[in-house]
Amino acid sequence: MSATRTTTAPGPAATRPTPPHRPRRRRSLPARIALYGTLGLLLLVFAAPLLWALSGSFKPRGDIFDYPPTLVPDPATTENYRNLLGGQPFWNWFAISVVTALTATTIAVFVCALAGFAFAKYRFAGKKVLFNVMFSSLSVPFAVILVPLFILVVKSGLANPWFALIVPWVAPAFGIFMMQQYIIQSIPDEILEAARLDGNSEFGIFRRVVLPLLRPSLGALGVWQFLQSYNSFLWPLVLISDTDQYTLPLGLNILFRAESRAFDLVLPGAVLASVPTIAVFLLLRKQLLEGLSAGAVKG
């Protein structure tokens, strides 16, 4: 896109109109007590299991269910982590879960953005029918397509876990719909026409113009998609039979279902399994918040 340089003469700084002052509405004391009480209760509900798992992962097996419960392990030990990492194929489960989830997320974000761009900005035969079919698939539970998808993957000879674990997540209908709505609201047609006049191809417009403007929604979709793939349980349970090729949810499940209920292995496994999800959230936190709030601001 060609740029036009203009020279502006120095002058007095432009005065920006100040918005009208709105008096800040103060909540009454009972309302503030109710608000902070509710927030504190929600924080306790969500944080208490995490703190208990973190504390229990450093306790000897016989102390995990002591009553009354103690938050600080006494004595603290790392034996549970050593037994998990040394006696179980935990790193295989971890690698398969993280790699397949990252790959599925990368492919899904690109496919959803491309499909959303097509639905939002192009006219083609059958567009309305295709969009209605895609949108209607949101109401179909995954369990309904589980068996047909399994037969399709096995018959095609693509049942390798590194491939088959990615297939169900590469084109989620929710992601396509989310991208289509965001593009309609955020990208005016004039920008696309200007890019065409500069000689860009249609895919060049998508790559150079559209994708950079979609960064907040891409971040939000990436976090959602990563959690969907990383926490998937039903599809890997049907697909994989070799314990060395299990994903983390399946691996932790067989430890939990062991005859002796190996909580001393499940708790450190759960703590380590939460590390990738926390890392993805911290890396994409800004894009996630901007993407979730975009509809409210623009709508």
- pLDDT, one tens digit per residue, over 85-112 is 988 899 999 999 999 999 999 999 999 9
DSSP H/E element including 74: none
Residue 249, domain member (yes or no): yes
- pLDDT, one tens digit per residue, over 27-84 is 788 888 899 999 999 988 988 888 989 999 999 888 888 888 888 888 888 999 999 9
- Rg, Å, the chain Cα set: 25
- Tell me: do 124 and 235 sit in the same domain: yes
| Domain, as residue range, for 217 | 88-296
Place of tokens 């190996």: 262
- Tell me: do 122 and 258 sit in the same domain: yes
Q: What percent of the chain has pLDDT over 90?
A: 38
Chain-centre distance for alpha carbon 138: 17
- pLDDT, one tens digit per residue, over 165-215 is 898 888 899 999 999 999 998 889 999 999 999 888 999 999 999 999 888
* Alpha-carbon dihedral angle through residues 142, 147, 153, 156, given to the nearest 10 degrees: -140
Number of domains in the chain: 2
231, 98 in Cβ contact below 8 A?
Answer: no
- Tell me: do 230 and 254 sit in the same domain: yes
- Tell me: do 136 and 51 sit in the same domain: no
Residue 204, domain member (yes or no): yes
- Tell me: do 164 and 95 sit in the same domain: yes
- Tell me: do 133 and 225 sit in the same domain: yes
Residue 13: predicted pLDDT: 43
Place of tokens 């314990």: 243
Residue 245, domain member (yes or no): yes
- Tell me: do 183 and 288 sit in the same domain: yes
Residue 254, domain member (yes or no): yes
Residues in the chain: 299
Q: What CATH number corresponds to the domain at position 292?
A: 1.10.3720.10
- The CA-based angle 125-126-128, given to 5 degrees, is 120
Residue 263: predicted pLDDT: 86
Work out the mean pLDDT of the chain and round it to a whole number: 84
Chain-centre distance for alpha carbon 203: 26
Average the pLDDT over 216-226 and give the result.
Answer: 89
Residue 117, domain member (yes or no): yes
Residue 241, domain member (yes or no): yes
- Tell me: do 199 and 133 sit in the same domain: yes
- Tell me: do 120 and 64 sit in the same domain: no
Q: Which of 48, 76, 104 is the last residue of a domain?
A: 76
- Tell me: do 101 and 219 sit in the same domain: yes
Residue 4: predicted pLDDT: 40
Q: Which of 76, 108, 135 is the last residue of a domain?
A: 76
Q: Tokens representing 31?
A: 């309302």
Residue 82, domain member (yes or no): no
Residue 27, domain member (yes or no): no
Distance CA 48, CA 65 (A): 15
- Tell me: do 39 and 185 sit in the same domain: no
Q: Which of 76, 98, 130 is the last residue of a domain?
A: 76
- Tell me: do 199 and 57 sit in the same domain: no
